[in-house]
Amino acid sequence: MSVEAYPLCWPEGWPRTEKHKIEYSRFRVTQETAQNCMLNEIRKLGGTSAVLSTNIRLRQDGLPYASQRPPEDRGVAVYFQYKDKPMVFACDKYIQVGDNIHAIGKTIEALRGIERWGASDMMERAFTGFMALENTPDKTWREVLDYYGDDIDDANVAYKKARTKAHPDKGGSQEAFYKINQAWAQAERELG
């Protein structure tokens, strides 16, 4: 799997937070501190080869430009290897990029607690949901969502209808639900 630090490489199948639900956090850390803490949690977990992907433009040396404006899309995703498996955590719940990074770090810290408290088999089960899945669609996103227009709002309506129908609690399956979310991620990229 090839992942770049810039631009943001949002994981396939992960729904995005709706714009009206993005909020300010109560975290009081700088982006640099959040990033260092998150990478430290990955290291403590035993993760390797971490790549933090955001829409923050980077210089040639890999550091962010000092005077750039915050990106419009403030989501973050971190990809890493854990026990020879590709993992991904993503967050776009907060207005600040640093807060989304910090949320991921705190989540990894909490999962590490599961292992420390002696229930590591539960941690392995929890991690299966964070595996970075390869994009192997058998249908186009238009076929999956049954939408063939070019309007993002109409595509979103089709997505929500398909998602409701495919939801496991409504008689659908996890696989069908995943494919719907994967199709929506592709539709968002194509339609903007």
Q: Shortest CA distance to 112 belongs to which of 132, 78, 133, 82? A: 82
- Over residues 12-38, the mean pLDDT reads 89
> 192 or 70: which carries more pLDDT confidence?
70
- Over residues 79-105, the mean pLDDT reads 92
Cα–Cα distance for residue pair 121/127, rounded to 1 Å: 10
Query: How many percent of the chain have pLDDT more than 70?
Result: 86
The pLDDT mean for the chain works out to: 84
Cα–Cα distance for residue pair 45/61, rounded to 1 Å: 27
- Over residues 147-152, the mean pLDDT reads 90
pLDDT score, position 187: 87
pLDDT score, position 127: 63
- Over residues 64-78, the mean pLDDT reads 87
pLDDT score, position 103: 96
Using the predicted structure, report yes or no on whether residue 124 has a pLDDT greater than 80: no
- The pLDDT confidence band at residue 125, using thresholds 50, 70 and 90, is low
Q: Shortest CA distance to 79 belongs to which of 18, 2, 14, 149? A: 2
Phi, psi for residue 75 in degrees, rounded to 5 = -70, 160
- Over residues 157-173, the mean pLDDT reads 84
- Over residues 59-83, the mean pLDDT reads 84
pLDDT score, position 100: 95
pLDDT score, position 173: 77
Contact status, residue 53 vs residue 3, Cβ threshold 8 Å: yes
Query: 128 is written with which tokens?
Result: 């299966």
